[in-house]
């Protein structure tokens, strides 16, 4: 057994935009592909919480869907537990989905309102034809509810989703994934719709479950602050590529890519003395369309440190700089020096 549970190799996902008949004639069949994922590679280790960070349009959710096998990649490979799972038949796919489960963003939409909690939790057992007596199934449901600290389980089993708070629903959603004894969970913004006061409670619960059961997580979020707290390693995505990858603390305390630096600068901190300050952001404008990715380094149109080489020369690949810390910026050293100079002023 390797210590890598999920390995993604040069994964790409291109979408063809919808075109009217007239457009397809006028365009001579030349469609502009939307390059949602444009060649990404990463490994998730066994028992690790791996964070995928990015703005909307960065491709983080598409990556999650590819890993869940909800989308077929255009090219590239996905290995799970040492096995190539890029293309799977129906039976194999079902088996894979049992091992890799998903927690969705919206706890209000991810549950059938006509199902009691007991039914919500029993459904995966039925779908995956887990042969068991009613007593055994009930036992499994009770165990799953206990794991997510919804106690007493008997009481929760009889409730309807509308009787639960957002946090409790996200616990049920987690219990629903745990009931099949998965090896990995993909969680796409699991706490972004939950009130701040209980967000931490859900993250604690998810981490406890992860430690207890030795699970691996792919945690997809736009929120750097929770990612720092919750994850072991972080990959920062920009426009379909990973621009920086490393240990969570290294990424936040010592960001090497200018995009990561801009993301960090933009995060508000609850400290006083900032009302009259217009924050200087080391980034220009907004994220370009993935149908129109800039040539050269794809970040150069927004980068305050960009030089001619960034525009003209081919896109930089991820390079190792420090322990387990990779970045895709050819001017990383100059950027660091300029940044330090600015911070000193």
Partner 1 sequence: MHMNSLLKVENLQMHYFTSKGAVRAIDDISFELRRGETIGLVGESGCGKTSLGTSILRMPTPPGRYVSGKILVDGVDVIPLPEKEVRRNIRWQKISMVFQGAMNCLTPVYTIGRQMMETLNEHSDLPRSDAEDLIREYLGYVGLPPEIVQRYPHELSGGMKQRAVIATALFLKPEIVILDEPTTALDVIVQAQIINLLKKLKKQFSLSFIFITHDLALEAEISDRLCVMYAGKIVEMGSNAQIYGAQGPKHPYTERLLGATPRLFKKVEQLQFIPGTPPDLIAPPKGCRFSPRCDKAFDRCFQEEPPLIEIEPGHRSSCWLHQRG
Q: Which is nearer to partner 1, 89 or 270 (CB)?
A: 270
Q: Is 268 in the site for partner 1 (CB under 8 A)?
A: yes
Q: Is 340 in the site for partner 1 (CB under 8 A)?
A: no
DSSP line for 201-236:
HHHHHHHHHHHHHT-EEEEEES-HHHHHHH-SEEEE
205-224: which residues touch partner 1 (CB under 8 A)?
222-224
Between CA 76 and CA 165 the distance in angstroms is: 40
* Residue of 22, 278, 344, 345 that binds partner 1 (CB under 8 A): 278
Q: Is 229 in the site for partner 1 (CB under 8 A)?
A: yes
Between CA 97 and CA 102 the distance in angstroms is: 9
* Residue of 133, 212, 270, 308 that binds partner 1 (CB under 8 A): 270
Q: Which residues are CB-neighbours of 148 under 8 A, at least 6 positions away?
A: 171, 172, 174, 175, 178, 205, 209
* Residue of 93, 266, 320, 337 that binds partner 1 (CB under 8 A): 266
Q: Which is nearer to partner 1, 137 or 302 (CB)?
A: 302
| Minimum distance of partner 1 from residue 271's CB (angstroms) | 5
- Show the site string, 152-181: x = touches partner 1 by CB under 8 A, - = not: -------------x-x--------------
Q: Is 93 in the site for partner 1 (CB under 8 A)?
A: no
First to last CA, the chain: 52
Find out whether 233 and 245 touch, Cβ atoms under 8 Å.
Answer: yes
Q: Which is nearer to partner 1, 8 or 53 (CB)?
A: 53
Name the one range near partner 1 by CB under 8 A: 93-101, 155-163, 278-286, 290-298: 278-286
* Residue of 271, 341, 343, 344 that binds partner 1 (CB under 8 A): 271
* Residue of 63, 226, 231, 261 that binds partner 1 (CB under 8 A): 226
3-class state of residue 254 by DSSP: coil
Between CA 128 and CA 120 the distance in angstroms is: 14
| Minimum distance of partner 1 from residue 268's CB (angstroms) | 4
Which DSSP symbol is given to 200? H
* Residue of 195, 313, 317, 334 that binds partner 1 (CB under 8 A): 195
| Minimum distance of partner 1 from residue 152's CB (angstroms) | 16
Q: Which is nearer to partner 1, 141 or 287 (CB)?
A: 287
Find out whether 174 and 205 touch, Cβ atoms under 8 Å.
Answer: yes
* Residue of 201, 232, 321, 338 that binds partner 1 (CB under 8 A): 201
Which DSSP symbol is given to 128? T
| Minimum distance of partner 1 from residue 61's CB (angstroms) | 13
Between CA 345 and CA 343 the distance in angstroms is: 5
Name the one range near partner 1 by CB under 8 A: 5-13, 116-124, 270-278, 304-312: 270-278
Beta bridge partners of 7: 43, 79
Between CA 304 and CA 202 the distance in angstroms is: 38
Q: Is 106 in the site for partner 1 (CB under 8 A)?
A: no
279-298: which residues touch partner 1 (CB under 8 A)?
279, 281, 283, 286-287
CA angle 127, 76, 56 (to 5 degrees): 75
Q: Which residues are CB-neighbours of 120 under 8 A, at least 6 positions away?
A: 111, 112, 161, 172, 176
Find out whether 227 and 248 touch, Cβ atoms under 8 Å.
Answer: yes
30-89: which residues touch partner 1 (CB under 8 A)?
55-56
Q: Is 204 in the site for partner 1 (CB under 8 A)?
A: yes
Q: Is 97 in the site for partner 1 (CB under 8 A)?
A: no
């Amino acid at each position: 057994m390797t210590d890598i549970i999920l390995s993604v190799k040069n994964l790409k996902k291109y979408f063809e935009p919808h075109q009217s008949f007239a457009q397809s004639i006028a365009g001579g069949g030349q469609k502009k592909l939307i390059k949602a994922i444009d060649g990404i590679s990463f490994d998730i280790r066994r028992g690790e919480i791996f964070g995928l960070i990015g703005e909307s349009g960065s491709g983080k959710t598409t990556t999650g869907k590819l890993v869940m096998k909800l989308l077929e990649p255009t090219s590239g490979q996905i290995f799970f537990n040492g096995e190539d799972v890029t293309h799977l038949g129906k039976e194999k796919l079902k088996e894979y989905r049992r091992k890799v489960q998903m927690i969705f963003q919206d706890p209000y939409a991810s549950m059938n309102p006509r199902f009691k909690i007991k039914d919500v939790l029993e459904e995966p057992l039925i779908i995956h034809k887990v042969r068991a007596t009613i007593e055994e199934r009930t036992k499994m449901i009770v165990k799953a509810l206990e794991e997510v600290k919804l106690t007493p389980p008997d009481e929760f089993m009889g409730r309807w989703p509308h009787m639960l708070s957002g946090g409790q629903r996200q616990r049920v959603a987690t219990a629903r994934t745990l009931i099949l004894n998965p090896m990995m969970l993909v969680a796409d913004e699991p706490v972004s719709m939950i009130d701040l006061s209980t967000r931490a409670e859900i993250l604690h619960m998810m981490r406890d479950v992860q430690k207890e059961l030795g699970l691996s997580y792919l945690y997809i979020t736009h929120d750097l602050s929770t990612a720092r707290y919750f994850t072991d390693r972080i990959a920062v995505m920009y426009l379909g590529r990973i621009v920086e990858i490393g240990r969570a603390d290294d990424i936040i305390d010592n960001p090497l890519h200018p995009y990561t630096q801009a993301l960090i600068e933009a995060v508000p901190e609850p400290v006083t003395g900032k009302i009259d300050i217009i924050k200087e952001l080391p980034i220009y404008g907004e994220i370009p369309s993935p149908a129109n990715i800039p040539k050269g380094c794809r970040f150069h149109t927004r980068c305050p440190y960009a030089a001619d080489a960034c525009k003209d020369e081919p896109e930089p690949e991820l390079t190792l700089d420090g322990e387990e810390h990779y970045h895709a910026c050819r001017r990383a050293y100059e950027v660091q020096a300029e940044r330090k100079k600015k911070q000193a002023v």
